Amino acid sequence: MLKGKHIILGITGSIAAYKAAYIIRGLVKKGAEVQVVITPSGKEFITPITLSALSSNPVISDFFSNRDGTWHSHVDLGLWADAMLVAPATASTIGKMANGIADNMLVTTYLSCKAPVFVAPAMDLDMFAHPTTQQNLERLRSFGNQIIEPATGELASHLVGKGRMEEPDKIIAVLEDFFERGTLLKGRKVLITAGPTYEKIDPVRFIGNYSSGKMGFALAEACAVSGAEVALVTGPVSLQIHHPNIRRVDVESAAEMHQACQEIFPTVDAAILCAAVADYRLDNPAKEKIKREKSGDLLLHLIPNPDIAASLGKVKKDNQVLVGFALETNDEFQHAAEKMERKNLDFIVLNSLRDTGAGFRCNTNKVSILMKNGERTDYPLKSKQEVADDIVKQLGSILNARI
């Protein structure tokens, strides 16, 4: 998977810099081409001679070559790369990356880099736990960068805690996994619905629900990272997309979501319906704000919304895959299996409100996947990103088995 890949390895001033030598060796052994960019303090920990010998490329540290004054183009480097890995990444470099402080070649290259970026922090446990570091890492995550979490163990300070840079073989495995995933849905088109729907009561009020859209957005990113072109039809949420291969379609009501899905579905290979669609809407929303003084008891007449999943299930072609979600509170497996049947889904992702850490608004989820043929996989509590990866793997294996 790493054969022929162009990797920029950013090295910063941490005692873990010696491990960068092993990372280069591992990457080169697997056929990757490595270009090292090192910060001035990184050179205090490991010599450029070691790094250039291992990578068979000159090491870049300055904006200009000291030898002949030629400019090192961070723009060209950013375009050349298939991935950028910053390992080890100090608190200082993470802070600079998170805030655009481009006072060295490494951060300048990071800002020019169009390829996916991986960051392997290495620092003392208290520095890692500090809110500044954690906020900066969160900011990098929000840019779509992948943080390779440090391990817990003995640190250079002899203190024991979380902050040890992950081992080189594990870091290389993360990159390999990334490039492998990039082929899973290559050339596929996927429709995803996410978030709640808002059903108008009057010009200022609506009926909504607690869905945050986090699961659907994580799915959109996971599908895009796996090589798919994604259409993300989302209700009102305060989330942002990062991957360039995601086309976002904002809708408000179930009727709008339904219409968008009907238009897009015939053009895709698969649809994952993650939205918490309101089951009912007002028959006749008020044109003007309803006044409390005038209305006394307020009766809202609700009529059923279209079931988007069921309507797509009706027109689904043999080569299309339809995936739904079921959020249940009781008799979970039975209800989910019935839903899968009724909506003509290929598989259904079940989460129960009885499980803590699952469902609306949280960053984690605990799901089971039920397949049409009766197979069932129960997963442990995971981040919504990891759950999205599990769902994408199932989707990829179904689509790829059909070729």
Beta strands in 106-240 (DSSP E): 117-121, 146-147, 151-154, 160-164, 189-194, 199-202, 205-207, 229-234
Type of residue numbered 369: I
Nearer to ligand C5P, 279 or 390 (CB): 279
Type of residue numbered 208: G
Q: 257 CB contacts (<8 Å, ≥6 apart)?
A: 193, 197, 233, 235, 251, 275, 277, 308
Burial of 386 (0-12, 13-18, 19+ CB in 10 A): middle
Q: How far is the CB of 258 from ligand C5P (least distance, A)?
A: 7
Nearer to ligand C5P, 265 or 325 (CB): 325
Q: How far is the CB of 265 from ligand C5P (least distance, A)?
A: 11
Q: How far is the CB of 370 from ligand C5P (least distance, A)?
A: 12
Q: 171 CB contacts (<8 Å, ≥6 apart)?
A: 23, 85, 87, 118, 120, 148, 165
Q: What is 74-118 written as a DSSP string?
A: HHHHHHH-SEEEEEEE-HHHHHHHHHT---SHHHHHHHH--S-EE
Nearer to ligand C5P, 10 or 213 (CB): 213
Q: How far is the CB of 64 from ligand C5P (least distance, A)?
A: 55
Nearer to ligand C5P, 147 or 249 (CB): 249
What is d(CA 142, CA 218) in angstroms, rounded to the nearest whole number?
Answer: 12
In the residue annotation, 400 being an active-site residue is answered as: no
Q: Which of 57, 66, 136, 209 is catalytic?
A: 209
Nearer to ligand C5P, 279 or 386 (CB): 279
Site of interaction with ligand C5P (CB under 6 A)? 193, 254, 273-275, 277, 279, 305, 307-309, 324-326, 339
Sole residue written with tokens 């960019």: 37
Q: How far is the CB of 233 from ligand C5P (least distance, A)?
A: 10
Kindly state the tokens that stand for 370. 């039920």
Nearer to ligand C5P, 77 or 340 (CB): 340
Q: How far is the CB of 193 from ligand C5P (least distance, A)?
A: 6
- Give the residue ranges of DSSP H helices in 231-383: 254-264, 292-295, 308-315, 332-342
As annotated, the active-site residues are 209
